[in-house]
Homo-oligomer: A and B are copies of this chain.
Amino acid sequence: MSLKHAILVLLDKEPRSGYNLLKEFKNSLGYFWNASHQQIYQQLKRLSDEGLIDCDIQQQDGKPDKKNYSITPYGHQHLQEWVNQEVKPNKVNDALLVKLFAGHLCPTEHLETELKRHQDIHRNTLDKLLKIEKRYQQLSSTQQEHYKLPYLTLRRGILGEQAWLAWVDEAIKAIKK
């Protein structure tokens, strides 16, 4: 639903290519919005068709053309209207929990290794987020003020991952018994 708006916010800050958007999703937005390159390129086409963004093609030698997208006044207005509307709370759909719920159909060892595998992934994610937080804390207070809102989204990522890890500890212990 909001890939559209996530892209618009980024283009509202500065014009970028699809590839650059992809990098942003992997880095700064990854802890609250994820998108594949296919999704991004398709969405850019649609946004362009709707007149919400413009495209400026830069030729590069050797490399394929680089398409630089920027938000139009209409797109900016659209974004602003969206921000002022109510957002639906997120729907929870977690396949790992479906699996746990059906865990009587497989050996306990499998559940345990699977939980540990996910634990590794989440520990990794948390590490990355904490490193980003450290960088934020080293900024001047005016800079911190400037990045206040993105920092809150980072905090959500951190608290979410910590809670997930606390849960998986509980879960692994409970399964072993």
A residues with CB within 8 A of B: 1-3, 5-6, 9, 12, 29, 31-34, 79-80, 82-84, 86-106, 110, 114, 117-118, 121-122, 148-150, 152-153, 155-157, 159-160, 162-164, 166-167, 170-171, 174-175
Shortest Cβ gap from A103 to chain B (Å):
5
9 contacts between A and B (CB under 8 A): A9-B102, A32-B101, A33-B93, A86-B114, A90-B95, A101-B149, A152-B170, A152-B175, A156-B171
Q: Which of B34, B110, B162, B175 contacts A93 (CB 8 A)?
A: B34
Per a CB cutoff under 8 Å, which of B88, B91, B159 touches A163?
B159
> Given the complex of chains A and B, what is the CA–CA distance between A91 and B33 in angstroms?
8
Q: What's the Cα separation between A117 and B1 when bound, in Å? A: 20
Chain B residues, CB < 8 A from A166: 159
CA distance in complex: A170, B162 (Å) = 15
How many angstroms from the CA of A166 to the CA of B163 in the assembled complex? Answer: 11
A101 and B29 contact, CB distance less than 8 A: yes
Which chain B residues border A83 with CB–CB below 8 Å? Answer: 99, 102-103, 105-106, 110
Known: A89-B118, A90-B93. 19 other contacts (CB 8 A): A3-B93, A5-B98, A5-B102, A9-B98, A9-B102, A31-B92, A32-B98, A33-B93, A83-B105, A87-B96, A89-B96, A89-B121, A97-B153, A148-B174, A148-B175, A152-B171, A156-B171, A159-B170, A160-B167
